[in-house]
Every structure is written in structure tokens, then in C-alpha cells.
Amino acid sequence: MAGVFDRLQKEIEDKQKEGGITPLDLADLPPALRKIMRLMLRSVQLKYAEISEAIAQMPEKERLSPDDLAQTLEVLVKQAWLIQIGTGERAIYKVNLRRKAGSELAGGIWDSLDSKLKGKPET
């Protein structure tokens, strides 16, 4: 039985290595990180200047300073929430969404239809 548990542990570890986010993960983020991620999820990809501009338009008590913004983006990149392309003011940030598990439903539907069209019983 050790093989089953080893396989399950490996699957859990593999999912953790994938990085990225799920919508449920957002609830666990600190407020500053959550603000940036909500902004990013609306656009999926933004330039640093666009992020700065959006932050500047927030109410004063919710705004992040340029240093805080840079640190927040750095943390989100290190935690694999965002993918950074380029550096500094020219950087582009993209949301790193987790891959979804493929559905086996579609294949089963087409196999069933194919067998009915050919007049063969399903196996």
C-alpha cells in the first residue's frame, strides 16, 4: 500500500510546483497583495506604468507608495502569482493562472456518438 500513498504525495507535490493561483487563494492574501491581484485579474496583463496609474487613481488611504508597489510586485512574482517580463519601469506583468485539469467528458461523448453512428455497441 505504500505505493498508493507515495503516488498521492507525488501528485500533491507536483501541483504545488505548478505555481499559479486559484480564485480561492485570493482570500488568503494580505490586503496590498490582494489589491494588485484583483487589478491584474481584470486585465490579465499590465505594464508597470499601467499598474502605477491604476494605483494612483485609488482612494488615498488605499494607495501604495512606489516602494510598496515595487515590493508587492516582487513578492507576487516570487510566489508565482505573477509572471514578470522585463525589468524596472518597462516590466510587463501577467497573471499566472493554474492549469485546469483536462476533462475526459468530451472524449467519452465523441466515442459514444461515433459508435452509435457506426452501429457498433459501446465497449
> Contact, 39 vs 46, CB < 8 A?
yes
pLDDT at 100: 47
| Residue pLDDT tens, the chain, 123 long | 456 666 656 655 555 555 556 667 777 788 888 888 888 888 889 999 999 999 999 888 888 899 999 999 998 898 888 899 998 888 999 988 765 444 555 556 667 777 777 775 555
> Which value, in Å, is the radius of gyration of the alpha carbons in the chain?
22
Q: 3-class SS at 61?
A: helix
What are the sequence ranges of the domains in the chain?
A: 2-118
C-alpha cell at 21: 493561483
pLDDT at 80: 83
CATH class, 2-118 region: mainly alpha
The answer to whether the predicted template modeling score (pTM) of the entire model surpasses 0.85 is no
C-alpha cell at 41: 485579474
For residues 123 and 103, give the distance between their C-alpha atoms in angstroms, rounded to a whole number: 20
> Contact, 66 vs 73, CB < 8 A?
no
pLDDT at 57: 92
